[in-house]
Structure formats: structure tokens, C-alpha cells
Amino acid sequence: MPFLPTPFAAEASLWAIILFPLAGAAVNGLAGRRLGRGNVTLVALGAMVGSFAIAAVAFGWAAAGRVLHFQGDPWISVTGADGRTLVDAAWGLVVDRLSGTMILVVTGVGTLIHVYSTSYMSHEDDAGYARFFTYLNLFVAAMLVLVLGDSLILTFVGWEGVGLCSYLLIGFWFTDPQKAYAGRKAFVVNRIGDFGFLVGLFSLLAIFGTARYADLSALARTVSPGAIVAGGVFAGWTYQAAITFALLCLFVGATGKSAQIPLYIWLPDAMAGPTPVSALIHAATMVTAGVYLVARNSMLFALAPAAMATVTLVGAATALLAAAIAFVQNDIKKVLAYSTVSQLGFMFIGVGAGVFSAGVLHLVTHAFFKACLFLGAGSVMHGMGDETDIRKMGGLWRRMPATAATFLVATLAITGFVPLSGFFSKDAILAGALHSANPAWPEVGPIAYALGSLAALGTAFYMSRLFFLTFVGAPRTHAAEHAHESSRLMTVPLAVLAALAVVGAVLGLPGDGAWSELFGRFTEPVFAPALEALRRSGHLPAEQVESALPFLFAWVLAAAGTGIAWLLYAGPGRAAPARLARALPRTYQLVLDKFRIDELYEAVIVGPLRTLARVLWRVVDVFAIDGLLVNGAARAAGFAGTIARLPQNGDVQRYAAVMTVAAAVILWTVLGVGGQ
């Protein structure tokens, strides 16, 4: 490829992909208030474009079949007296076809959302505007560290970094206490996941003695799963058990970052952040980090079927639960948030069932259409004066044609209409799950297929409901009647993302022609060792199963969901939803309250912990240690002083008597000791 610099130069400049947005954040963070709005925009956008350009070059080399690896300097490295270095973190980066795809999505979609934000955030004052772009650039830098890091430790750095930016951006309008709380909730729930990540990381260090992906993958290929670990932390376990434990811990981290059961509760509240943030962080990039983590460690997961079964099942259950909650939400961003949780569940079904490339492809197409949907929602909010309740909208089609058209395309993509991108990526996942036979639990694939298909039906329903209520019918409020289309800076990114949502279909066409399975074949080198191991264990079928039936069934489901939504929200059955809600008031309220999972956690974990802390403080610190021991000792000393004062009364005869007795005791003691 003559238009590319040499691979050596590309490797040396890998850090520039990260340093561009990091420098943008530094400049705008330190001097943004004084730079003026135009310069802030220039710096932030320039950083993104620069990063995208270098990422594209690196991707080009990955596509040409090379793996770019920057051997970084040591960061945290401790060598024992015996010369062994177990903890050895370095600033190493790697671009293969998996991370290359990710950086292209992060910088590409990221650039579009930066462009959109220049208009969306224009109502902020200068300081707020600069602060927003500082955080946004910082987020992109952290996300790139997460994706590009060549070891679990560096990924963890990005992992916590994106968590911080998410916290800062959810609470961007921090004067509203609820938004500040939502930010903290996101950080703390993610920290619970990070706790799992850390324990998993330590476990892998104990098993393999390294945290670098390349070494882990290479060593995993030499391990016989049934062998017993001879020594160390996992002495007596089988390798398979130890690896399964480590991966389940890592997956706890993934459920936090990627909002899966049981840690998904932060994501709906995260909608408190500005809408471009919801699009970039809470839909397109950060929340997919868990999927990336599983895909990145595919070779390890191939050794641990029980861990894969867990991933599949959690993904399937989350996909269905979140879709069910999305049925009844009336806030446009909340519907999209639950939809994101549900779609992430699909991705986990994919990587859990062993069809890694399908899971990652869905990550990519989802980034396109969900970013488009969120930005569309932001455009609607802009046009409606920050209204988010879809019951107060309706008929926006005529007022905001560009937004409506792109929203329609993205809705069709997510519901899985042929031939849009979502159809191929989602149904490759479901078909893969159906044909998989996990050795730990062979039924888990078909179960996930059934749950996932139900969730797909639900997706078609709630997304169509959202579209009909927002854009179709008659305007239901004054604001909806007078809504206005957004500026070009907002509609052009929408159009680009909608186009990508259509074109992305090319990546996942089924069959075995020249244009089919493009993405699967593209990522083949990354997943080949894992796939080979999975085929050997019978987890994946040895031959590619080509059956049109699941695809046909999926299309029928999508059409059915859309049809029902049309009947109930735009067609003749418009009275039915309200009647249904009245007929089943308790069920309706329960679903509307998101199954009251937040309340459950509050009652079972948060509340008791707070009470425990308060009781411990009062009982242990204040009463037992200070009250009884410290002040008790002081009082005892005082009391002893009072007693001791009694004999000190100036009576010489009594002194003499005491002295005599004391001398006798001392003599007896000394002689007694001497006699022994």
C-alpha cells in the first residue's frame, strides 16, 4: 500500500491516536475559558480529525494483514529479589483487526458527535462549552487507551478513565442534584464492576504470570484444561476451573461497564447527561467495552465453557428484561437507554455463544444506528424546547423532515428490516446461538435464541411505538405544533450515521459469495485460535450451517412487532394501550417502575450498609472503644488516684508500717526467685 507510511512509522505513531484528544482536553481544560468558543471548537474538532486520520492509517495496515505493536516503556514494574517480574505494566499498544475496527468506530462516530455537539451545546456559556469539549476529548482518549492497550492493565486504565468521563459528563449540569446523583451512581456501580475486573486480572496473573493479551492467548493454547494446578494461588484447582473463575470475575466488570444484569441500573439514569454524551458514551462506545473485553480474550473464553454459558445467558436475560421495560417508558431517551441495554445483551449472546465476529459486528452497526437515534432524539429535544415526553409529541414528521427520515432509517435498522445493517448483525448472532452446543450446558444456545427472538419481537414493537408516537399522527401539544428542524451541523451527522446504518449491511451479508461474511472473514485472524478450539470441543458446528429459516423467522418477528405497534399507536387500535394499562394496573405500574430493581437494591444492599456503618460507628467507636476502653481507662486512672490518695495522709507511723511490709515482700520475692 503505497499511500501508507511504513509499518514502523505507523507503530511509532500509535500513541498519537491517543495523544491528539488528550492534548485537546489539556488545552481546552487549562485555557478553554480564555480561548473563546471558536478556538475551543477548533482544538476539540482538530484533535478528533487528527486522531481519526492516524487511526485510519493504522486500520489500513491491519487490513493489509499486519499487527501493529508499539512496545511501550515500563510503567508499573516491580521485580523481586529472585528476578521475577509478575506485575509488569507497560505503555504498549496494539492494533490488530479487532482493535483497528474499534478505533475507527470510536474516532469516526466520535468526530461526527463532536460536530453535532458544536451546535447542540451552543446554548452553554463559554466556560461550560469549553468544559464540555474538555470532557468529551478526554473521554475519547480514555476509550482509545481501553481499546488499544496491549494488556489487561492498560485496558483497566482506560476502563476506569472512561468511567470518570462518564461520571463528569452525566453530571455535566451538576447544579441539578438529580443529575449529580446520576453521575455518582454510574461511577459507583461501575466501580463494583471494576472490583470484579481487578480480581479477575489478579487471578489471570496468578495463573499465567502475565496480563498481556498476546502472551495470555499464546499460553492459553498450551494449557490442557483438565490438568491440576501444581502450586500458587490456585493450587489444587483444574486449569479450567481457575480460568473460569478469573473470566467470571472479568465478566462482572463487563456487566458494570456494559450495563448487563445485575449492574445495568446506572445506564437509564445516565440519560441525565447531555444527549450527545448519551449517543457517544452510553450507546456507541463506552458501554460496548465489556463486549470488546470478552472478544479480546476469546482464546481464554474458549477454554471455559461455563463462563461462556454465563455470558450468553446473562446477555439473553438482559436483552429480554430491558426490552420489556422499554415497552412502557414515555421518555424518549429512557426508551433508547433500555434499548441500548437490550442490544448490548444481544452482543453478549453473540460473543458468549462463540460467534465473536457477529457480536462485534453488531457492536459496530449498533454504534451507527443507536448514535443516529440518540442524536435524533437530541434534535427532537432541541426542536421541542428540551421536551422528552413522547406523549407530548406527535406529527413531528412534517416539522422536522430530516430528523424524522434519519430516525426512520435507524429505527428500521434496529428492528431488523431487510436489508438494513441491524438485520444481518442481530440475526447472525441469533442463528449462531441456535447452532451452538456449549459443552457445559448444550441447551444454553437454543435458550438464548428463544429469549433473544422474543427480545427482537419486543425491539420491533417498542422502537416502532417510539417512532409512531413521536413523528406520526397529529401534534398533541403546542410545542409539537411549533417544533423546528435543527441546524445543518446537527442534521448532517444524522444523515451520515443513517447512511452508515444502511451501508453497514454489506459487512454481514450471509451466504458464501464474494461479498458475504465480509466482517467475519476480516476478523478471522483474531478469532481463529478460539474458533478452532470451539469447533474441536463441539461448541461450534464443524461445518458452517447455512439455513435460511432463522433469518426468515426473524424477519417475520420484526414485521409482527412493527405491525402490532402500528395497530396500537398509529392505527385503529389506538385506545387499546390505555385500556390495557387500566385493566392490569399493578402489572403496568410494576413495568413502568422498571420492575423496581433500584428499590430492591436500595432495600437489600445500600440501606443495610448505611445502617451497619451508623451502628458500627455508634457502638464500636463511640461506645466500646472510646466510651468503655479509652475514657474508661481514664476514669479508672482517676479512680485509682482517689484510692491512692487515701494512704497519703501524713501519718508517719502508717508509712513505716507500709514500708516494712513492702520490704518484706521484696525480700521474699528476691530470695524466692534466687532460690529457684
Partner 1 sequence: MNLLGVVTFLPLAGALLAALLPRGEARQHRALALAVTLATFLLSLLLWFGFDAGPAAPEFQFEARHPWMPGLGIGYHVGLDGVALLLVMLTTVLTPVVVLSTWRAVQDRVKEFMIALLVLETAMIGTFAALDLVLFYVFWELILIPMYLLIGIWGSQNRLYATVKFFVYTFAASVLMLVAILFVYFHDGATFDYVDARAALQVTPDQARWLFLAFGLAFAVKVPMFPLHTWLPDAHTEAPTAGSVILAGVLLKMGTFGFFRYALPLFPAAALEFRPAIAVLATIGILYGALMSFVQTDMKRLVAYSSVSHLGFVMLGLAALSAEGLTGSVYQMLNHGISTGALFLLVGMLYERRHTRAVAEYGGLAKQVPLLATAFVVVTLSSIGLPGTNGFVGEFLILSGTFLSRLAHSTVFATLAALGVVLGAVYMLTLVEKVFYGALHKAENRHLPDLSLREGLVLAPMIALIVVMGLLPAPFLAPARPAVNRLVARFQQAEARVGAPTAVGTVEAAVAARPALPTGRSF
Q: Which residues pair with 88 in a beta bridge?
A: 77
Of 63, 78, 584, 667, the one binding partner 1 (CB under 8 A) is 78
Cell representation of residue 354: 462463540
Of 63, 64, 616, 670, the one binding partner 1 (CB under 8 A) is 616
Q: Is the Cβ of residue 198 or residue 509 nearer to partner 1 in the bound state?
A: 198
Of 132, 239, 264, 407, the one binding partner 1 (CB under 8 A) is 239
- Taking a C-beta distance cutoff of 8 angstroms, is the pair 424, 508 a contact? yes
Residue 48: closest CA among 103, 147, 114, 134: 114
Residue 4 is a binding residue for partner 1 (CB under 8 A) = no
CB of 603 to partner 1, least distance (A): 17
CB of 303 to partner 1, least distance (A): 12
Burial of 175 (0-12, 13-18, 19+ CB in 10 A): exposed
Residue 314: closest CA among 415, 451, 483, 153: 451
Of 16, 164, 450, 581, the one binding partner 1 (CB under 8 A) is 164
Q: Is the Cβ of residue 638 or residue 650 nearer to partner 1 in the bound state?
A: 638
Residue 325 is a binding residue for partner 1 (CB under 8 A) = no
- Taking a C-beta distance cutoff of 8 angstroms, is the pair 299, 247 a contact? no
d(CA 178, CA 582): 30
CB of 507 to partner 1, least distance (A): 33
Q: Is the Cβ of residue 257 or residue 382 nearer to partner 1 in the bound state?
A: 257
Binding range to partner 1, per CB under 8 A, among 149-157, 268-276, 284-292, 597-605: 149-157
Q: What is the CA radius of gyration of the chain?
A: 31
CB of 34 to partner 1, least distance (A): 13
Residue 613 is a binding residue for partner 1 (CB under 8 A) = yes
Residue 79 is a binding residue for partner 1 (CB under 8 A) = yes
If phi over 0 gives left and psi between -120 and 50 gives alpha, with beta otherwise, what is residue 79?
Answer: beta
Which residues from 173-212 bind partner 1, rule CB under 8 A? 174-177, 180-181, 184, 187-188, 191-192, 194-195, 198-199, 201-203, 205-210
SS3 228: strand
Cell representation of residue 61: 495496515
In whole angstroms, how far apart are CA 555 and each of 271, 421, 423, 427, 558? 31, 13, 8, 9, 5
Q: How many CB atoms lie within 10 A of CB 439?
A: 13
How many residues in the shown chain lie near partner 1 by CB under 8 A?
69
Residue 673 is a binding residue for partner 1 (CB under 8 A) = no
Helix or strand holding residue 565 (H, E): helix 549-569
CB of 210 to partner 1, least distance (A): 8
CB of 338 to partner 1, least distance (A): 25
Residue 547 is a binding residue for partner 1 (CB under 8 A) = no
Binding range to partner 1, per CB under 8 A, among 234-242, 495-503, 542-550, 575-583: 234-242
Of 156, 292, 522, 569, the one binding partner 1 (CB under 8 A) is 156
CB of 164 to partner 1, least distance (A): 6
Residue 601 is a binding residue for partner 1 (CB under 8 A) = no
SS3 149: strand
Cell representation of residue 447: 435458550
Residue 614 is a binding residue for partner 1 (CB under 8 A) = yes
Residue 223 is a binding residue for partner 1 (CB under 8 A) = yes
**Angle ∠(517,523,527) on CA atoms, nearest 5:** 115
Q: Is the Cβ of residue 184 or residue 535 nearer to partner 1 in the bound state?
A: 184
Residue whose entry in the numeric block shows the C-alpha cell 529457684: 676
Which residues from 621-660 bind partner 1, rule CB under 8 A? 621, 625-626, 630, 634
Q: Is the Cβ of residue 108 or residue 163 nearer to partner 1 in the bound state?
A: 163
- Taking a C-beta distance cutoff of 8 angstroms, is the pair 101, 364 a contact? yes
In whole angstroms, how far apart are CA 647 and each of 371, 635, 653? 88, 20, 11
Non-local (6+) Cβ contacts of 266 within 8 A are 182, 185, 186, 189, 190, 259
Residue 278: closest CA among 291, 261, 259, 293: 259
Q: Is the Cβ of residue 24 or residue 394 nearer to partner 1 in the bound state?
A: 24
d(CA 472, CA 415): 18
Residue 127 is a binding residue for partner 1 (CB under 8 A) = yes
Non-local (6+) Cβ contacts of 163 within 8 A are 186, 187, 190, 191, 194, 257
Of 38, 65, 226, 231, the one binding partner 1 (CB under 8 A) is 231
CB of 52 to partner 1, least distance (A): 24
Q: Is the Cβ of residue 153 or residue 306 nearer to partner 1 in the bound state?
A: 153
Residue 171 is a binding residue for partner 1 (CB under 8 A) = yes
CB of 526 to partner 1, least distance (A): 22
- Taking a C-beta distance cutoff of 8 angstroms, is the pair 139, 163 a contact? no
- Phi/psi of residue 571, nearest 5 degrees: -100, -150
Residue whose entry in the numeric block shows the C-alpha cell 399507536: 569
Residue 234 is a binding residue for partner 1 (CB under 8 A) = yes
Cell representation of residue 529: 485460535
Cell representation of residue 48: 478528533
Of 32, 50, 110, 161, the one binding partner 1 (CB under 8 A) is 161
Interface residue list for partner 1 (CB under 8 A): 74-82, 84, 86-87, 127, 153, 156-157, 160-161, 164, 167, 171, 174-177, 180-181, 184, 187-188, 191-192, 194-195, 198-199, 201-203, 205-210, 219, 222-223, 229-234, 239, 242, 609-610, 612-614, 616-617, 620-621, 625-626, 630, 634
